[in-house]
Structure 1
Amino acid sequence: MEQPRLLAVHAHADDETITMGGTMALCADRGVRVVNVCCTDGSLATIVDPEMAAREAEVRPRLAEIRREELTRACRVLGVDEVHWLGYRDSGMAGAPTNSDAGAFWRADLDEVAGRLVAIIRSVRPHVVVTYDANGAYGHPDHVQAHRATLLAVEAARVGDRYPDAGAPWTVSKIYYTAFPRSEAERIVALAQAAGLPPPFGDTPIDELGFIADDAVVTTGVDVRTTIPRKLAALREHRSQIGPDFPMLLAPEEVMVKEFSVEHFSLALTRVAGGARESDLFAGVAV
């Protein structure tokens, strides 16, 4: 039997854990080879750790290195087999002057980025690829660029005369986008209110949250209750970006296991038969 393989393409260190850390760990537990690609160095991110923030003049020049170390540790916790860094410069939030900086991922040549991903796809030979939707989940330029490059790479990887020096062609069976359904956001807000906790999304109305997906486009819910403890541990490894007041870390672990046990995805492309609703990214994949 062939080993099933999962490739995740994310913009920054911590995106993998926040959006699908439980799924990565679950796949690893089930014998899936899990590979993560991080597209940028994350050097422009806000430093949330108080101790690091107090030393920002010292920490900022090393932030790319720090985040790489954090990602390495988080992926080790989750059981990820392999991590690839594309090394593009963080573009900053949408509309920031840094979007136009030389070396920024947003300005990178898509043909070049896709070619690098094609080489990874043809080497790893994943059955399933996960990235973001066309809005990059919440409009961040690096997330949008990751979406574009991943879709181009998946299609190019199966065509022999595209990037002929990148290895033998490989056809990916399924592509998913990470998703956060509206109904889940509403449920979380209600739970926090009932528990007397601060609003998890601050004062921003759900309709104005850029990362919310309509329930109609969410096809897949993966039960990750057995791996929630590792997801939380991996989140804590991203110390520069995720503080103790991060919504997923505010609730006791037993509450997270009970109430936040599903990670959601939207099936964007499939070359295998399947139903309208799924509970497994590998549903219908013959390995």
Structure 2
Amino acid sequence: MGGMSVLVCFHAHPDDEVFTTGGIIRRAADEGHRVVLVTATDGALGEVPEGILRDGESLAERRRSELEASAALLGAQRVVFLPYADSGMAGTASNSASAAFCNADPDEAARRLADVLHEESADVVTVYDPNGGYGHPDHIQVHHVGVRAAGLAGVDAVYEAAVNRDHVRRLITLRPSGPEDAQIPDLDTFGLPESELTTFVDVRGAIEAKRAAMHAHRTQIGDFGPFLNLSDDELRAAFGQEWFRLRGAPAGYRETALPL
């Protein structure tokens, strides 16, 4: 597509943008496109190392500043924070909080996001797969809200960002021990099988930006810690490709870039 396009990446919490879309954000920005990052929650229920917050500083405040720093490193020109609370991990008491994103009216949340899509004249939107990658209630809600919002805004190019579970299996085979402290997910439910993915984007050229964005989320060492000390080659192997499923794509459809 000639000229500037607009990519909107919709995520659940500050730091989610790095893993599955950090590379396409940086790549799109480098190619002259506009990238808008929308985050549904404040991330206030994330785990944080003792002593990292300043006196009187809330985790939500710190994570907002961390997201802004990450967005700048990745090249996103605008960051939008939707006014919802972190729902916490699946099965925790916080899932029942009335302000939690997982309990938000999907239509109301979709209208908020659709307003951004209209304002930006979005060409492409990324969400998550229906299981939110690994069953987190906020990620699942991102899927439902994002799909509704794209319909309201008339955006046809909706891509479900997903982990390629077969790629993870290959990495484990090559390095069974994995990075120190890395937890191996249940690969029967984590992400999507390669056969269901439509879009395979090479983002190895953006790997240093992804690494820098990981470092920007200092409070989230539990998520990024196992990967921060990987060699460049190891980081490229693990995070040098990003995968998506284009909603409505015909069986067997394959592409190597988003339509930007």
- TM-score > 0.5 by shorter chain: yes
Once residues 17 and 138 of structure 1 are traced to their aligned partners in structure 2, the CA distance between those partners, rounded to angstroms, is 16
1:151 and 2:147 matched: yes
Deviation larger for 126-135 or 253-262: 253-262
Once residues 13 and 152 of structure 1 are traced to their aligned partners in structure 2, the CA distance between those partners, rounded to angstroms, is 22
Deviation at 1:156, TM superposition (A): 1.4
Deviation at 1:269, TM superposition (A): 3.5
Partner of 2:255 in structure 1?
A: 278
Deviation at 1:243, TM superposition (A): 5.0
Q: 1:217 aligns with which of 196, 215, 229?
A: 196
Once residues 89 and 229 of structure 2 are traced to their aligned partners in structure 1, the CA distance between those partners, rounded to angstroms, is 26
5 Å-filtered alignment, 1:123-142, equals 123-142=119-138
Give the alignment's Cα RMSD to 1 decimal.
2.4
Deviation at 1:13, TM superposition (A): 0.3
Once residues 150 and 198 of structure 2 are traced to their aligned partners in structure 1, the CA distance between those partners, rounded to angstroms, is 20
1:96 and 2:92 matched: yes
5 Å-filtered alignment, 1:189-268, equals 189-193=172-176, 197-198=179-180, 200-202=182-184, 204=185, 206-207=187-188, 210-243=189-222, 246-257=225-236, 260-268=239-247
Partner of 1:18 in structure 2?
A: 19
SS of the aligned residue for 2:176 comes to helix
Partner of 2:80 in structure 1?
A: 84
Deviation at 1:96, TM superposition (A): 1.5
Q: Kindly provide the amino acid, as one letter, of the partner of residue 144 in structure 2.
A: R
5 Å-filtered alignment, 1:41-190, equals 41-47=42-48, 49=49, 51-52=51-52, 62-157=58-153, 171-190=154-173
Deviation at 1:199, TM superposition (A): 7.3
TM-score by length of 1: 0.82
Deviation at 1:22, TM superposition (A): 1.0
Structure 1 spans left out of the alignment, 5+ residues: 158-170
Cα offsets for 1:35-80 (capped at 9, x unmatched): 0100001101111x3542xx69x57x60000000000000000000
SS of the aligned residue for 1:121 comes to helix
Cα offsets for 1:170-195 (capped at 9, x unmatched): x313111111122211122123238x
- Structure with the greater alpha carbon radius of gyration: 1
Q: Kindly provide the amino acid, as one letter, of the partner of residue 161 in structure 2.
A: T
TM-score by length of 2: 0.90
SS of the aligned residue for 2:253 comes to coil
Query: How many equivalent residue pairs?
Result: 259
